[in-house]
Each structure stands twice: as C-alpha cells, then as structure tokens.
Structure 1
Amino acid sequence: MKLKYIVKTLLIGLVFTACSKDSDSNETTATEPDEINNFVWKAMNSWYYWQPNVANLSDSKITSTTTYNNFINGKTPDALFYSLLYQRGTVDRFSWIENSNEIVQVSKIAEVEKQGGFSYGIYPKDASNTNMVALINYIVPGSPAALAGLKRGDVITKINGSQLTSSNYDQLENTQLTVTLAASVQFTNSSLVTTDKIGTVTVTKTDIDENPVAYYEKKVYGGKNIGYLVYNSFKSDYNDELNTAFAKMQSDGINELVLDLRYNGGGSLETAVALAQMINGSFTNKPYIYLDFNNKHNSEDGYENLSDKVKIFNLIDNEPTFQREESINSLALTKIYVLVSFQTASASELTIQCLKKYVSVITIGEETVGKFVGSNTLYDSPAYDYASYANRSTKHKWQLQPITFSYYNKDKDANPAKITPDYEINPYSTFLNLVEFGNVKDPYLKKAIELITGQTLRTTAKTTNPSLSLRISNLAAFNPTNTAKGLYIEDYKRLKKQ
C-alpha cells in the first residue's frame, strides 16, 4: 500500500512566485469569502511559524466576517500569500505557494525531476554583482548534460546568446537552454575575466531520478584509510545505496571519512538521521534533532531519535514508498571532515549541527546557506487542518509551502546565522582546480587530507590572485536552487516527544 504522508521541506535560495491569473480568484462580494483565498489565510493562520508576528494573520481578523472577507477578496492567491509572510526576504526567505496548473521552474519536493543533469553555482564576475558566470559542480551520468558533452568545471558565460547576469541566470532552469562556455578563466585584482569558446551547447531537460551517492573512493595516506564520499542529496529512495556505500567502507577498513556536502541542498530527515548512525552507530535511541512548531501545533514538537535500522523506499507515483528495513552499516567514527559551500543547506546543515553533539565534525570550505527552519505542505483540506493531500479540494490545484517549524540539535542550542567553516577555502580557487571527484588538486579535498595526515600534499594545483577582492559574501545571494531538495519527513506523526 502506498504510504500517505505529510511532506516537510527545508528550501534554499530564491522564492519563486507562481504565475497566476485573475481568473484564479473569483469575483465575490464582501459577504462571501473567496474560496481559494479563504484556504490560503486559514491554513497560514493555523500553521505559519511566525503567525503571532503577523498582524494580518491574527485570530482577531476573523471576528468580523465583513472585515475578513474584504481583506482576502480581490487578491490573487499568491499575492495574498506573500503579503502574509513575516519580513519576507529577510526573516522569511523560503516560504512559497504553487499552483500546479502552472509550470513551476523547480520541483522542490519530487524525487524525479525535470533536469538537465548538471549542478551549478552562480558567481559574480566583479564587485558590481551584475555580470555572472555559472560554474558546473558536477554532471549526472547519462543525463542530457552528459550527452551534450558538459563536464565538471566547465564555466557558463552566456545563456541563450546573452551574457549571464543577476537578472537572467534563472533561465538556466528553462526546459531547454543553449549555453556558451568559457575557453579561459583569468583573475585580476578585482574581477574574473573570461574568453568564450566558439559554438554553443544545447541541453533539454528530462525526468531524472538522480543517485545522490555520486562518488566514493578509498585513499591511503600515511597508514590512514581515508574514505571520500560525495553525497549530493538526502533522498530516501536511495537509502539502500547509501547504506551499501558504508558497507563498502567497512570492508575497505576506512578509519577516516571526508564527507563532501558542497552541493547538497537537503532531503529526507530519516536519511539524515540514518547517515549519522552510519558514521558512528554508538548512540542508538538517543535524540538527534528537535522540531519546534508554533503554539497552535505544540503537539507536533518533538525529537527524532537515532536508530540502528534504516528504512528502504521505492518510488511509486513519485512518492518514496516504504518497502523494508535494513540494519545500518556503521564505521564507528569519532571524527569526520565535511566539505561545505554556499550551496550546503537544510539536511546538510542539520547533519553538521546535530552530529557534532556526538562526534567531532571538522568543516572545510565556505559559509553555508543558514537554513534552520522548515515547512510541511498545506492543502485545501480544512477538516484535516490543511494537512491531507487525499482529502483536498479538487476545485483548484493551489498548495502552500510556508515555514512551519524550526529545528535544533538535541540540546536545543541556538543555531548560527550560517555555519562558518573551521577551515575557509576561497571559493574562486575552484575555477582553476575543479577536477574530477577524488583528484587531490581539489583544494577542499586536499585540505581535508592534509588535516588527517598532518602532511602537506604536493600538487600542481593553480592558485587565484591572493589580493582578489571578491569575497564569499558576494556569492550567497546568487545561490541557485537546482540542487535543493529541502527536508521532508515521511510521517511526522511518529515523532516521539522526550
């Protein structure tokens, strides 16, 4: 039987406003509330994490039927929704609304997505933050991007014939796109300079269920058996592949782990909890993460505990559907090294913040996104407190993804604005050294191995101009969402309050 569950998700990057038409909001009088907008307001009033901070979401708003109807009527559902957010763009950067009748640029929940098959990061070419380039982080094997000849480390300078800018880089999410690649990349004291290759590359998106266990290699240095694992999304339908990767590390005698989460935008909470157990395994049944909802849903507050079992899911109708449980393969490590970037978010940040309560976690790279809140999908099903997909109204296809909870480590410590790495790497250094996974010319991996072995690795890696004025703070605003999976929980009702 297919599982029915509420999806919760942590998202990074931009908030996409769904396209809407005036016809989506029916004309009403002040005595009758607009049906869709009534759903939007009441669902937000019930679940929105910052509901007490938004005057227009106060319970007093519905004490006068005329006042309430006049407030919600005459607006499109998305306009109403975004008007209800608490300090949108500063405090709440992540809530969104979707009408599935419209084309949505990025599927933030589905396991199978329309993708071109390449992950990228957006970088300003200078301090003006206007002209951009896109650095390709990796290519999904067998994807349209792979078939088109794109590779890790390629630099995109133009999209559909136009210079990539802060205004048009979202076109990289189009169903079909044509890109121009850089032939060379150079640095001055204050800018990144590129020359273009002749010709272009065209990529057309297709449905992809990407395997997030992207790369594993055993490296031996100075008596250390070092496992290097690239993990790009916490996808529950690949829990068995992740567990198998740790079984391989067991057989390889791995006693040090470098976990590459630079391109990991999040995913299943259950998978994140299982990953922690795979890394150590000594704290079965101990609390790992604490979820905190608004006062109307205090009954949902609670812990998720570590377990010696991992749930295995298969996709049915694009939903992870439970199949069986497996015993977790654990390395019993007491220290790990995690590679992070300005694209590391949600479940990846959770892994760092929550795991460090049990083992030593050394971070290498750049500041992360800073996403310590999450959401569950809300449907027009008022009899079920807007939480039931099966019992939703079929008169429309609007659904909400507002922030509904914050999360903390087991001790409920305050979260930082962002995770600052223990060892910082200049992100622009990757332009000259973004080699294939596992190559120690990669400055992030090189640093991790040096920390593990206490020895300096001699490589032919290139360096950027040390006086380059571009800093990480310029990058965070241009983090694309194509790698974001969010954080979801297959069944939040099973949380046990401690």
Structure 2
Amino acid sequence: MKQSSQKHFYRYYSILLLSTLLLSCEKDDSFFKRNSTSKTIELRTDEQLLRDSIYYYYNLYSLWSDESIPDYNHLFRFTEAYQNNNEVLTALKSLTPAYSGYTQGVYDRFSYLQELNSSSSAAIGKLHMDLNNGYGISTSIGITEDGLAHPIIHFVEGGSPAALGGIRRGDVILELNDDKDLSIPVDCSTGQCFVKDPDRRSYVVNQILKAQSDLIMNIKVQHADGSIITRRLAYTTYDIDAVTHEALYLTPNKNVGYIALSSFEQIENNNQNQRHIDYAFQNFANHQIRDLIVDLRYNPGGYVDAAIYIANKIINKNGHQQLMLKYQVNKYLSENRQKYNFEDVYFQRSGQLELSTVYFLVTSNTASAAEMLINVLRPYMDIRIIADNTRTYGKPVGFFPQTIMHKTVLWPISFKLENAQQYGDYWLGLQADRTFVKDYIFRDFGDSKENMIAAALEESLPNYNNNTQQRSKRSSTAFEKVALENIDPIKTRGLIKTP
C-alpha cells in the first residue's frame, strides 16, 4: 500500500461507492487486488470513507509507517473500531515508537487534523498559512510600578490590527472595552509576588480572552515611556508580517544587527514577507554588521523554504554551497524524493554578510522551523543560544497537508531534518549556551536594555549599554512579571512543506 499511488486509492473507493468490482477495467489493478476480495464490498458512508482515508494517507506518508503502521487487506479492518476521525488518528499516532522523553510516550505527538468549512481557504484550493485572525496580541500578567498586577502585552504580531494601531510589546492594558480597571492585588512582602485574590485574577483573564474574540476591541494602554494611547480595533483577517522588529547597535569598532522573526511565512514573488526580509538584511550589509542577534522567542515555526531563504542570508562564505540539510523520510517518500521535493539542500549564499557570531534568543515557544534555522547554521558558524530557561521546544519533524474529500486536511508527520553533521534528534529542544536569562516583557523588541538582548550585547559589544542612554522610564529591575502562565500562549506551527 505504501508504494501505491494516490489515484489508485480514489479508483478503489469509486468502486466501493458503486458497489461493483470492475477490476478488469483498471490499467493497473495491483492495489485493488491487495485491498479487495472476489465478493462485492459493502457500501461505505462518507464518514467511514473519511476515516479509511485518514488511515491510508497516514500509512502512506508517516515518518514511522515502515516500522510501526500495519498494512491491512481492507482499510476498514483498522478503522471500523473507531467512531470518529480523531480516534483513528490518535490510534495511529499511538503505534509510533515509544519515546521516554515525552509524557505521551510516543514520538508522534504532532500529527493533527484540520476540519474545513466553506469559509476556509483550504476549501477552495491552496492552504494559505500566512494569514491570521483577530487582533494579533498575546498577553501575560505582570506587576508594574504601582505594585499591582496588570495585563501586559508580551507579543504583537506584525501586520495585525494591534501592530498597525501602535500597540507594542511591554504595553500595560489599562482599560479594555467596558472595563476601566483591570488591576489585580498582589502581595510581594516576602520577596516573591503572589496574587491575593484568585477570583479577581480569573475575572481579568476571562475579560482578556473574551475581548480577543469580540468584533471590536476598545483598548487603552500605557507604553514603557509612560505615554498613554487609546485605540478602537476591528477583528479581522490579516497578512502576517513575520519581521516583528529590526534594529542596529552601532559603535566605532563594530556594528551589530538585530531582527525579530515571529514565524516563517511564505517567501515568493517579491511578496511583503520577502521585501521586508530583503530590506532588513540589505540594511545590515550597508552597515557592515559583524554580529547578528536573531530573536526567535515567540517563533513557533512555519515554512521550511522560508527558513532556508533566511539561512542563505545569514550563512558565511565558509558554508556557501555546502550541505545545509537532509530529509529523513519513509521508504515510499524516499523512492519519490524528487516528486515530493525531499532532496538534499545545499547553501546558496544570497547575502553580503560575513558574520563572526550569530546570537539566537529563544524560549520554549521557539520550535520547528525556528529550531531548524539554528541547527543548519551550527556546523559552519559561531552560534550562541541564549534562553529564558535551558532549551527550545523540541520539534525536528515536519509535515505537508493532505486534503481529504474536501472536508478534512490531514497533517501527518512525514519527515525529520538533519544538519550537515547528521544531527536532528533535538526532541527535547536545542540546548542553550546561556540559560535562565529573564524574558523581560516590560521592554519592547529591539530595546538594548531588555534582558535577553542585553545578554547578547554584553558578549558582542561589552559596555554598549553603559555608553548609551536608557530608552524608557521603566526600570528593568523594579518589578518582574508574576510567575503565572501566559493568558494566551503561542501554539507551535511546525515545519511546513508546501503542497
């Protein structure tokens, strides 16, 4: 079955739907001979066919199919035990090899199903992952100078209504829609802060989450410099601008560049994403930067091709035309590497930079394509990873979409990436060189005095911050964020191959 083509699969089910075996009419009937008998096969409902299809495509494309997924003469011998699509996929994932590092116990904790509807972009053809819905903000709880906890915006996505409205990372939300007070009492008398009123905290969190789904958001925020703005934002679908921020740190002896990438969106046909990335790296080249800080703190992944594009901007002369990455795939995909674009990738240096060191700022949100970028550069460049904890998320595998019956998209983990040193087993994340550097959410991206950026500058440009004026009134040592979970944490996207 793994070596059968997709057209055979649909021929098979056309026969099922007609409840007739017309095998003699097929030019190549080997697939049917393995999946049918001489008796008439009973009609399958659309729901049953969908579950059968999930089994078929997972078995065809899964990275672990050769060693873990059983072949059946009849697809429904596997699927008939399950009542819905997710049960089938969960059962298939449970068959992949065990991995003690995961609480789920098996390697495949990533494959998933995406249901389609009439408004879905996938329902009309191409799966367009470069769009997002909403306001583009992610929020935490932090303590400000007044000694109270408030909602703090720790991430603003480029291209979003919030970004276009001037909302920034580090903004304190003072008012939201009809709520004029979103403060939460805390107790910091012991040196560690605790929420004094859990019910009040729950109320504030619920108001934030509710506002994220409302059609209109009236929001009042205070910037780090103390200024206050009020905005009326509309919930909308927007094109993601993956370059959240870029900056230069200039000295007489050496210049350093900074770029914050929120995700890896498609780069094609001189689109917005390509133009912004090209502009940033050309600006770095114009200023002859020697070191580069790449901020991937909230980058959950994206397109493999986009990460390759950026890797080619960063790579030095030493890595030009050298092996960048190799794909590990199952037997079927290996035999069809060219068709599915799984051939080895070599660096094609497209930038003008000759960097000494690249500093990557990471958190547990740094995943997939973001980890891939770090991993492929390591064999050729001086790479330093600075983390808010100890490592990145840990997702060296990726997928491409398979649309089924115009109703569901299956995203089966189909490949693992390895760098030129054949390393790709960072299932628990890439280990950081410098650990437990506080992700200080009260300062914006690019601020040289923000803790993680300052840590990179301490190594690259010693005394840089001592020789520059402070950019904001807010002290980086006055109050730290409360040790509570983010209100709306960022979800991983994965390593996405284009269809």
Task: Name the TM tier (shorter chain).
Answer: 0.5 to 0.7
Stretches of 4+ moved more than 4 A in 1? 102-109, 121-125, 131-134, 146-149, 155-162, 167-173, 177-185, 198-203, 474-478
Change (3 A) 1:348 1:67: closer
> Which of the numbers 226, 229, 235 marks the counterpart of 1:205?
235
The residue that corresponds to 1:399 in the other structure is: 409
> Which of the numbers 443, 453, 458 marks the counterpart of 1:434?
443
TM value normalised by structure 1: 0.67
The residue that corresponds to 2:284 in the other structure is: 249
| One-letter code aligned to 1:434 | R
**Structure 1 residue 410: Cα displacement:** 1.6
Does the residue aligned with 2:361 lie in a helix, a strand or coil? Answer: strand
Change (3 A) 1:362 1:106: farther
* Cα deviations by residue, 1:16-70 (Å, 9 ceiling, x for unpaired): xxxxxxxxxx9x999444221121111111112233565xx411xx236774463
Change (3 A) 1:105 1:297: closer
The residue that corresponds to 2:25 in the other structure is: none
Whether the aligned pair in 2 keeps the contact of 1:112 and 1:209 (CA below 8 Å) is yes
The residue that corresponds to 2:394 in the other structure is: 370
CA separation in 2, counterparts of 1:95 and 1:215?
31
Change (3 A) 1:70 1:117: closer
Whether the aligned pair in 1 keeps the contact of 2:397 and 2:495 (CA below 8 Å) is no
Alignment coverage as a number of residue pairs: 398
CA separation in 2, counterparts of 1:159 and 1:53?
53
Change (3 A) 1:80 1:124: farther
Whether the aligned pair in 2 keeps the contact of 1:117 and 1:140 (CA below 8 Å) is no
CA separation in 1, counterparts of 2:460 and 2:316?
21
Whether the aligned pair in 1 keeps the contact of 2:260 and 2:294 (CA below 8 Å) is yes
The residue that corresponds to 1:79 in the other structure is: 87
Does the residue aligned with 1:84 lie in a helix, a strand or coil? Answer: helix
**Structure 1 residue 229: Cα displacement:** 1.8
2:167 matches 1:138: no
Change (3 A) 1:95 1:68: closer
Whether the aligned pair in 1 keeps the contact of 2:141 and 2:482 (CA below 8 Å) is no
Whether the aligned pair in 2 keeps the contact of 1:375 and 1:401 (CA below 8 Å) is yes
The residue that corresponds to 1:329 in the other structure is: 351
**Structure 1 residue 245: Cα displacement:** 2.0
The residue that corresponds to 1:260 in the other structure is: 295
> Which of the numbers 277, 287, 308 marks the counterpart of 2:312?
277
> Which of the numbers 315, 322, 329 marks the counterpart of 1:286?
322
- What does 1:378-417 correspond to in 2, within 5 Å? 378-380=402-404, 393=405, 396-416=406-426, 417=428
Gaps of 5+ in 1: 1-25, 126-130, 186-197, 309-327, 381-392, 492-498
| Structure of greater Rg | 2
Higher strand share: 1
Whether the aligned pair in 2 keeps the contact of 1:234 and 1:266 (CA below 8 Å) is yes
Whether the aligned pair in 2 keeps the contact of 1:343 and 1:369 (CA below 8 Å) is yes
Change (3 A) 1:170 1:408: farther
Does the residue aligned with 2:306 lie in a helix, a strand or coil? Answer: helix
Does the residue aligned with 2:402 lie in a helix, a strand or coil? Answer: coil
**Structure 1 residue 456: Cα displacement:** 6.6
| One-letter code aligned to 1:271 | A
Q: Which structure is richer in relative contact order (CA contacts within 8 A, separation 6 or more)?
A: 1
Change (3 A) 1:70 1:415: closer
The residue that corresponds to 1:101 in the other structure is: 117
CA separation in 1, counterparts of 2:49 and 2:207?
35
- What does 1:86-485 correspond to in 2, within 5 Å? 86=94, 90=104, 91-101=107-117, 110-120=128-138, 135-140=153-158, 143-146=160-163, 150-154=167-171, 163=203, 174=213, 176=215, 203-221=233-251, 223-235=253-265, 236-237=267-268, 238-282=273-317, 283-299=319-335, 300=337, 302-308=343-349, 328-366=350-388, 367-380=391-404, 393=405, 396-416=406-426, 417-427=428-438, 430-431=440-441, 433-435=442-444, 437-455=445-463, 457-458=465-466, 461-463=475-477, 470=483, 479-481=489-491, 485=493
Change (3 A) 1:358 1:475: farther
Change (3 A) 1:449 1:275: same
| One-letter code aligned to 1:263 | Y
2:80 matches 1:58: no
CA separation in 2, counterparts of 1:174 and 1:441?
34
**Structure 1 residue 359: Cα displacement:** 0.1
RMSD: 4.2
* Cα deviations by residue, 1:446-473 (Å, 9 ceiling, x for unpaired): 111111123373457422679x994xxx
CA separation in 2, counterparts of 1:378 and 1:302?
20
* Cα deviations by residue, 1:404-430 (Å, 9 ceiling, x for unpaired): 121121221243311232223444x51
The residue that corresponds to 1:10 in the other structure is: none
CA separation in 2, counterparts of 1:360 and 1:251?
22
TM value normalised by structure 2: 0.67
Does the residue aligned with 2:237 lie in a helix, a strand or coil? Answer: strand
